[in-house]
Amino acid sequence: MIHTAHHVRSVLLVAQDGCVAPRFDMALEAMLATEVEGMKQSLILPQSSAEELCHLIMKESVQEVVCGGIEDEFFQYLTWKKVRVLDNVIGPVDWALERWKAGKLQAGDIFRQESVASPEE
């Protein structure tokens, strides 16, 4: 079987106030993005629901999910559906998205504000 369509990675980041949401099941915002530059959309969810998020992830054929905490039941479901879950990520959505695009984002990554002046100076 030959696939002619170009396979593009896609990600869904659960968000809250511009940062990765601390809990998957409580998120009211999400960002859908692909590794193709400029392809991203923000979604405002009508209610926080892990089930609705999972449905959206399946409907949009998302390959990876970035979140803070996620209940084991949903983690197991998504991984069973071949979705890679990057959990325990803490930091701004834009930072997480850039690291994801670069292939550097890992579960447990935490954003650290680099100090402006280094101690050596």
- For 40-56, what is each residue's pLDDT tens digit? 889 888 889 999 999 99
Q: How confident is the model at residue 99 (pLDDT cuts 50, 70, 90)?
A: very high
What's the domain range around 40? 10-101
For tokens 């990554």, what's the residue? 109
Cβ–Cβ < 8 Å for 80, 72? no
pLDDT for the residue numbered 66: 98
What percentage of the chain reaches a pLDDT higher than 70? 86
Number of domains in the chain: 1
Torsion sign over Cα 104, 107, 113, 115: negative
- Token pair belonging to 16: 């809250």
pTM of the model: 0.86
CB atoms near residue 23 (< 10 Å) = 15
**Residue 98 identity:** E
CA 71 to chain centre: 15
pLDDT for the residue numbered 4: 39
Domain presence at residue 29: yes
How many residues make up the chain in this entry? 121
CB atoms near residue 89 (< 10 Å) = 28
Domain presence at residue 109: no
Domain presence at residue 4: no
Which CATH number does the domain housing residue 91 bear? 3.30.420.130
Q: How confident is the model at residue 36 (pLDDT cuts 50, 70, 90)?
A: confident
